[in-house]
Chains A and B, each alone.
Chain A
Amino acid sequence: MTAALETKNLQKSFGSLKVARDIDLSLPQGARYALIGPNGAGKTTLINLITGMLKPDSGTIRLDGADVTAMPAAARVRAGLTRTFQINTLFPDLTPIEAVTLAICERDQLAGQFWRSLGSHGAAIEEANAILEQLRLGDVATQRTRTLPYGKQRLLEIALALATKPKVLLLDEPAAGVPKDESAMLFGVLEELPADMSVLFIEHDMDIVFSFASRIIVLVSGGVLLEGSPDEVRNDPRVREVYLGHAHA
């Protein structure tokens, strides 16, 4: 079966610094994969490469078997490859209902219709509202994003991504900066994601990684050190040394 997302020999350097070395990934449909690695391992860079925000020096990226390496970032999103951001990248003066409706309109290529009032896009608004309800944002749908508590803003990050109807969802540290007691809600949301959606997520909290991921990819200095099941990764001496070693020392 074709992988939902596949990279082959992905390479990227900034000057003499290699930030991606020969990265081969294969994400099957419906996967729940975690991408872990120490700071500066190139995790976010890899997401930037996959989503087209950075151009790789060489290598290919395939989405559902189709080569998307040369495709602009926005077109990849419309093809079903969507990411979220580690640092909130939201629209501060829009309300969640506006932002999510905008994402839906962009997905359905309705955003250029300057002659139709926003209120006439009833289906898009209803869908946006449903997404906000699903992500526990229904009660703040009409408040400005900048006034929302941080945890709600993290949820809105995911809501915007879901509005694009992704086949492959790349989550860059969805729980970054969220206090432990609030991150439960966040991962409750992630557990409810459709089973056929393929998810790759970066996360530092190992409890979350081991409970949520079916497979784990360990990235070290731009290269894949190891890919395996949570147990394999947990027990691998190299991983303990480069990564878990610090935590357990």
Chain B
Amino acid sequence: MTDVTRTDVQTWLARQSRWSPYEIAFWIAALVPFVLFPSYLTLASQIAITALFALSVDLVLGYAGIVTLGHAMFFGFGAYFAGLTSKYGWGEPLTGLLLAGLAAAVLGYVISFLITRVQHLALIMVTMGLGLLTHELANSMSWLTGGTDGLQGVDTWPVLGFEFDLWGYTAYAYALAVLFICFLFCRRLVNSSFGLALRGVRENVRRMPAIGSSYKAHLRLVYAISAGMAAIAGALLTQTTNTVSLDTLSFQRSADVVVMLILGGTGRLYGAILGAIIFMIARDQLSDMNPQYWYFWIGILLMLVVLFMPKGILGGLTRLIGRRDE
């Protein structure tokens, strides 16, 4: 009897992290632009990069419940880090990504001690303040960053022997591969005991110390990981465009990514990716129609989602196709 229930529990836990056919279909679909929309490959790599950024924010916002309006500081940090290493002689993209990610993770870990001290409105203000601070800092250090003109002279070497082509085949393949690897990492993380602990923090932070959890250490760790991943996204943008502009650090970027998470659904990895896809395609199409007022439609979409799909579009979809809400 006991043996039966034990295997039941084991299989139930294993089922929670099993790949579903929908997931496999999604990643195959991600290859479609190569064949069907070669003229949209640049947009596709922008989407992949943004999706990676959204994933990183989902780790802190969706899984750990740290509301942040300043995560562009890590994205921009990674973008400038990769740009500067390449400008001053080391243009190898993979090591550039890795270094940018590691440096940002260390920076994120240091900042996390401040972040985990505050909550609610104060937390939002602190993250926003740090974001604005970084933006202005980069602006004033124009000798290093190029200021409002952007960083010139970035020269990214071929990635694994593939030159970055004008059409963006290499760029998209590279961005998609990095997104996929980071996604696998996130997937493992949220299905680990650490991911469970983060859900515990989000579900009931009061209980955590009572089960012996020094949960702030968990929050610091996930914040550092998220910072590193955001920087990798920023570095990818630099490497695929060979330029860095100040708006990689802008408040707008921090706010947009939160909008994407709310659209797609927070606390679910595919929600971050779906939100990025919807937001970026909407921006591309709507700003073609009217470059000035395109955010009007995003605003309407955002309100519809919040009112009618509180768990985001992905949450609404999973309910629609009757899968267990996970």
Which residues of chain A have a CB within 8 Å of any CB of chain B? 51-53, 72-75, 77-78, 82-83, 85, 89-94, 97-99, 101-103, 105-107, 110-119, 121-122, 124-126, 129-130, 133, 138-139, 141-142, 160-161, 163-164
Contact = CB atoms under 8 A, between A and B. Distances in A.
Interface of B: 2, 5-6, 8-10, 12-14, 16-17, 188-189, 191-197, 199-200, 203-204, 206-215, 217-218, 221-222, 225
Contact of B200 (A73, A99, A124, A126): A99
A138 B211 CA distance: 20
A129 B2 CA distance: 9
B9 A125 contact: yes
A211 B215 CA distance: 38
Contacts of B197: 102, 105-106, 111-112
- Is chain B's interface secondary structure helix, strand, loop, or mixed overall? helix
Given A91-B199, A124-B193, A161-B210, 8 more contacts: A74-B209, A75-B214, A111-B193, A112-B221, A119-B13, A119-B17, A121-B193, A133-B2
- Is chain A's interface secondary structure helix, strand, loop, or mixed overall? helix
B17 A77 contact: no
Contact of B192 (A52, A75, A115): A115
25 contacts: A72-B214, A73-B209, A74-B209, A74-B215, A75-B214, A92-B203, A93-B203, A98-B199, A101-B193, A101-B196, A102-B193, A103-B212, A105-B196, A106-B197, A107-B211, A111-B194, A112-B197, A118-B13, A121-B193, A124-B193, A125-B9, A125-B10, A130-B2, A160-B211, A164-B211
B203 A74 contact: no
B52 to A, nearest CB: 18
A117 to B, nearest CB: 6
Given A91-B203, A119-B17, A112 B9 contact: no
A94 B210 contact: no
Among A75, A105, A126, chain B packs the most CB atoms within 10 A around the CB of A105
Nearest to B5: A138
B319 to A, nearest CB: 16
A25 B6 CA distance: 41
Given A91-B199, A92-B204, A142-B12, A113 B193 contact: yes
Nearest to A89: B207
